[in-house]
Amino acid sequence: MRGHKIAQLDPLGLSSVDLDAERPEDLTPKFYNFNESDLDRKFILPPITFIGGQEKELSLREIIRRLEDVYCQTIGLEYMYINSYEKCNWIRQRFEDPEQKKLGIKDIERAVKRLIRASKFEDYLKKKWSSEKRFGLEGCEVLIPAMKMVIDTAAGKGVDTIIMGMPHRGRLNVLANVTRKPLEELFCQFDPKLEPSDVSGTGDVKYHLGTCIERLNRASNTMVKFALVANPSHLEAVDPVVQGKTRAEQFYRGDKAGDKAMSILLHGDAAFAGQGVVYETFHLSDLPAYTTHGTIHIICNNQIGFTTDPRMARSSPYCTDVARVVNAPIFHVNADDVASVLHVAKVAAEWRCTFKKDVVIDLVCYRRQGHNETDEPMFTQPFMYKKIHKQTPVLKKWVDQLISEGTIKQDWYEAEEAKYQKILDDAFANSKSPAYAKDKNWLDSPWKGFFTGKGPFPYPKTGVSEETIKTIGVKAHELPEGFALHRGLKRVFENRAKMLQEREVDWALGESMAIGSVLLDGHHVRISGQDVERGTFSHRHHVLHDQDKDLVFHVPMNYLSPTQGHYTICNSSLSEFACLGFELGYSTTNPNSLVIWEAQFGDFANTAQCIIDQFISSGQAKWVRQSGICLLLPHGYEGQGPEHSSARLERFLQMADEDEDQVTEIKETKHLHHNDLAMYQLDDVNWIIAHLTTPANYFHILRRQLALPFRKPLIMMSPKSLLRLPECRSSFDEMTTGTTFKRIYQEEGAASQNASDVKKIIFCSGKTYYDLYKERANNKLDTEIAIVRIEQLCPFPFDEIRKELEKYNNAKVCFAQEEHKNMGPYTYCKPRLACLLRSMNDARAGEINTCYAGREAAAATATGIKSSHYLEQKTYMQQAMAF
């Protein structure tokens, strides 16, 4: 229980305990009322210990010696808090039984070869590119044989897919010596003359890149697929992404217990203790819809965070203490004791494969260089680095020991060293070929067979037959016999049945039609987020709970057809960062699934901003990785205050990589209609941003996500009050065969009949349309004001809007929104409208700079004072109607 407190874990000796002078009182015989004469008394060993081997009794002196050998040397164990006798005993046996730790000669030779590769790879990079940042592994080279031991052990137990995430330290070494990525591909990343021949975005620095490789694992003689997921400099951000990708891999393979696919996460000590997403990710580990059946966490604990001492970086004794929240065993080990590291790695892999629970390996090591290779660590850690400069590298230390013991021969070691040196030299020579400089070589989630042909591809028709709509409408509300439905839901279902009879849908029904039809097409659909099963606004009800039985629930959408895809809808942990990261990882595994994350309110999405900024908006540009993930972000000003009004639409629009000064128009040809060519505009942007006004368009845009021949993230401002607005309904005719998504809704009222007489054309998006429509009717301005709804904001529908501007050529141009002037879509649409008018040589080009209807600029997204809300609403409606 407490032996780890005096274990000799630090290879530098900075935090080691003098066993004679500093031994904690509760680890002395005196504390338990034993005196010197008791040390030679013999005691019968209880069945809960394994230190005796075949012996049944030992002297107290020998018991203490053996316990210290197990718990107080170079391995420190924390596991006695696990509330399972079986699991504690399992760990105890693997560390207390002296036979368990012995390594065979083949294991030793294999580990030496791996340590040679790990060490000499760093030496080679240092020699060839001395001034290049590479965030090397020097001081923790044993990480490579440790990871390989984990993989060997897991592969021997049937695991054939390993999905890994890690920060930048040691990434190049892991790529080279764990995944065995061709060294030529790594070395050409150091040559600025070798630009990728297939570059399609910005690319990224080499120590952020990922890969996917399948190769033979010689220890188990089985094929193993390795995926190292690309990661930004946000050290732990990749953790939930890896978990989502692993969960998806398990789902698509029917690997319900995680026997075939598993994850390994590497961490730094400062980030593991300091980054909240680590806790959020641990918190998902046992949730039914998120578990990956155990992750092996390996911490490269170099006892420093950039320049910050651990005593200033965390409040807990160990950097690993966060793992105790899920009762994960923690194995601390001195990284300079290779044999102990290998034993810990083997036990950790066995634990995961046996119990399907998380486990943590804390490799206590050091960082030989500064934070990067050009950094001077002596400025801030002079005492530590004086020790490090004198420290013998682990390879030399261990090899010298093995040679002196006669375990290996000097000439064998030198031959292995020379063999790897030749591999490095040959790879360096070959790396000058442009054939190795390809972006696609670094793709961590390849989709075999998905990208077929080069087009042109027709714009997808996303309508379905009326029979399909009716079938979904009926099946989605059927109940098992004897199921006690809440009486309030009976009314909801009756209202839905009435709508179906009238051949129309509201927002919730439109969503059900989209999801149901995708399922009937054979695709998997997964929706997750806080309270998504019912829906934040009590509108969805896709999981029905029996009112008379606890934990008895029914998901009607999984009973549409025997051949349908599987529907997963799951309430998430109260987390945005980890949960969105998880779904992003899930979405990258299979392009033929619809993966949706819904925020409880769009306002809360900003706690997942790192995933949005670093992965979703820029993932394809940096890492050639596409994703079709859909974000539903409830957005709308309804007097609910500054944290329940805005999903910060302006931020998503600002991150769109579309040039506001360049009109990207679509010209028809004799082969293709402009709607067909509109798809190329979709392919040109980093993501799709929509603010819709009808259930039919919602239906189409969800179906379009899977109908496109490529994948783009979809960011949707989803409604709140529109969920129950009687006017916000769509006819079956807008969703049936031959129909498709509308990028804009034209004016269809009286104003469209006499376009030349229209005095004002208002562009808007989202809920505000219904407010404007009502205000226009109240003011009897139906013939004087035209209202055009921009449904798809990004990519901006220049061609469709040009037609409206040409049609209403005498009308003043105005943009209306309910958001404040420095927020919402105005600042995005304003320059694009002006650019389009200039390209038309239209005199109205200057008007858009002044014709704005909406709330004034503000710091907070919305007022929390109801009277102010109504006054603002009234004021901007008056602005919109004014000429």
- pLDDT at position 374: 86
Question: Model confidence at 198, in pLDDT bands (50, 70, 90)?
Answer: low
Angle between helices 466-475 and 487-501 (to 10 degrees): 170
Q: What is the mean pLDDT of residues 668-696?
A: 80
Q: What is the mean pLDDT of residues 29-33?
A: 92
Domain boundaries, the chain: 3-96, 123-192+203-442, 466-734, 746-881
466-734: CATH topology: Rossmann fold (3.40.50)
Task: Judge contact between 268 and 275, C-beta under 8 A.
Answer: no
Quote the DSSP letter at residue 308.
B
Q: Give SS3 for 345.
A: helix
In this structure, the number of other CB atoms found within 10 A of the CB of residue 209 comes to 27
In this structure, the dihedral spanned by the alpha carbons of residues 584, 590, 591 and 595, taken in order and rounded to 10 degrees, is: -40
- pLDDT at position 19: 56
> Shortest CA distance to 581 belongs to which of 613, 547, 621?
613
Question: Model confidence at 15, in pLDDT bands (50, 70, 90)?
Answer: confident
How would you class 866 by CB atoms within 10 Å of its CB: exposed for 0-12, middle for 13-18, buried for 19 or more?
A: exposed
Copy the structure tokens of residue 16: 């080691």
- For 826-882, how does the pLDDT look when each residue is reduced to its tens digit (9 = 90+)? 999 999 999 999 999 888 887 776 699 999 999 999 999 999 999 999 999 999 999
Name the pTM for this structure. 0.95
Can you list the alpha helix ranges (DSSP code H) found in 629-712? 649-654, 674-684, 695-707
Question: Model confidence at 197, in pLDDT bands (50, 70, 90)?
Answer: low
Task: Judge contact between 594 and 515, C-beta under 8 A.
Answer: yes
> Shortest CA distance to 575 belongs to which of 611, 544, 547?
611
- pLDDT at position 663: 87
Q: What values do phi and psi take at 721, rounded to 5?
A: -65, -25
Question: Model confidence at 527, in pLDDT bands (50, 70, 90)?
Answer: very high
- pLDDT at position 48: 85
C-alpha to C-alpha distances, 92 to 36, 164, 331, 341, nearest whole angstrom:
28, 28, 12, 17
Q: What is the mean pLDDT of residues 61-88?
A: 95
Q: Quick one: what percent of the chain has pLDDT higher than 70?
A: 97
670 has pLDDT over 60 = no
Gyration radius of the chain's alpha carbons? 32
Which segment of 3-17, 549-563, 607-621, 856-870 scores lowest on mean pLDDT? 3-17
Amino acid at 502: E
Q: What values do phi and psi take at 246, rounded to 5?
A: -65, -45
Q: How remote is the C-alpha of 859 from its chain's centroid?
A: 30
Q: What is the mean pLDDT of residues 514-522?
A: 98
Tell me: domain 746-881, CATH 3.40.50.11610, correct?
yes
- pLDDT at position 358: 98
Task: Judge contact between 170 and 140, C-beta under 8 A.
Answer: yes
Task: Judge contact between 99 and 367, C-beta under 8 A.
Answer: no
- For 440-494, how does the pLDDT look when each residue is reduced to its tens digit (9 = 90+)? 888 899 999 898 877 677 889 999 999 999 999 999 999 999 999 999 999 999 9
Given phi > 0 = left and psi -120 to 50 = alpha, else beta, which region is 662? beta
- pLDDT at position 113: 97
Q: Give SS3 for 483.
A: coil
Q: What is the mean pLDDT of residues 73-96?
A: 96
In this structure, the number of other CB atoms found within 10 A of the CB of residue 345 comes to 28
Max CA separation in the chain (angstroms): 110
The highest-level CATH class for domain 123-192+203-442 is alpha beta
Question: Model confidence at 57, in pLDDT bands (50, 70, 90)?
Answer: very high
- pLDDT at position 23: 79
372 has pLDDT over 90 = no
- pLDDT at position 199: 64
Residue written as token pair 């994948």 = 711
Q: Are strands 161-165 and 42-44 parallel, antiparallel or unpaired?
A: unpaired
788 has pLDDT over 80 = yes
677 has pLDDT over 80 = no
Q: What is the mean pLDDT of residues 699-722?
A: 96
Rounded to the nearest integer, the mean pLDDT of the chain is: 93
- Asked if 123-192+203-442 and 466-734 have one fold, the answer is yes
